[in-house]
Amino acid sequence: MTSLSHRRFLRASAALFTGVLLAACGKAPEPAPAPAPAPQAAAPAPAPAPVKVYTVGTDAAYAPFESQNEKGEIVGFSVDLLNAIAAKAGIEVKFVNTPWEGIFNSLQQGDRDLLISSITITDERKQTMDFSDPYFDAHQLIAVPEKSKVAKFDDLKKLKVGVQTGTTGDEVVTKLLGKTNTNVKRFESTPLALKELEAGGVDAVVADNGVVINYVANHPTAKFRTINDPAFEPEQYGIAVKKGNTELLEKINKGLAEIRADGTYDRIYAQHFGEKK
């Protein structure tokens, strides 16, 4: 090998060595990024808790407080009032026509959660149920034929008197005439007692003033007159709940207070009875 060829060989070898050395010192290629995990399906939203609907017992034969219209719907002052209370209290209610004779048992047995049926708050009833704050002032009223000579409650002592079974009217008449007196004639509802008065089967009817006034106004051909005796004690209606159900009672009282404060109560009252005097 000539010296020229030898030099060329050395240069080529050096270049090759340098390339190998540079390749060995270079950065390793970066690994490819891992694929992103597949998105997980969102967990289904929990089903909303079922809304508690409170069943309300009412004897729908007591206009203008609670009665049935031509469609069979329960309507009246009590219905409008409790619906307004429920809206304020954040609860739902469902009205069920419940005969008066079994209405208190339906509450005690748990078939009804609430009762609103022109129920007078009495000490005796407080022993077996709890009452809301009063929502209506009432008293007993006597209905007689237009030509009757009755002028006061005591005049009924020797007459046949119609009452609704188990009401405060029944209580006061029974006290006046005596527990065993057959002249106390009991009916399933006050309107039935008043129909019997119209037919001449009884001489007088004693019942809550609101119902008597409404009946007389809507039956002018019956030709009744009414007698307000000061001997009758003032009464107040309340909404009844099962004894010890303080949670529901607090909701009802809260709603009642709110509709009194914002004028809703007065509007409902005026709709059914006219403006308060």
Contact 197, 162 (CB under 8 A): yes
Question: What is the per-residue pLDDT for 49?
Answer: 64
pLDDT of amino acid 201: 98
Q: What is the pLDDT of residues 45-80, one digit of tens each?
A: 776 667 789 999 999 999 999 999 999 999 999 999
**pLDDT of res. 141:** 98
**Tokens 């970066």 belong to which residue?**
30
Tens digits of residue pLDDT in 248-272: 999 999 999 999 999 999 999 999 9
Quote the pLDDT of residue 23. 45
User: Residue 52's pLDDT is what?
Assistant: 85
For the chain, which residues score pLDDT lower than 70?
A: 1-43, 47-49, 277
- Here the contacts of 106-109 (C-beta below 8 Å, separation 24 or greater) are 106/57, 107/57, 107/240, 107/241, 107/242, 108/242, 108/243
Sign of torsion, CA 19 20 26 30? Answer: positive
Q: What is the spatial distance between Cα 114 and Cα 49, in angstroms, rounded to a whole number?
A: 22
d(CA 61, CA 106): 17
Q: Rg of the chain over CA atoms, in angstroms?
A: 41
The per-residue pLDDT for 47 is 66
CA–CA distance from 81 to each of 135, 137, 140 (Å)?
9, 14, 22
Q: Provide CB contacts within 8 A for 221, sequence distance 6+.
A: none
User: Residue holding tokens 């909404």?
Assistant: 239
**The pTM is what?**
0.79
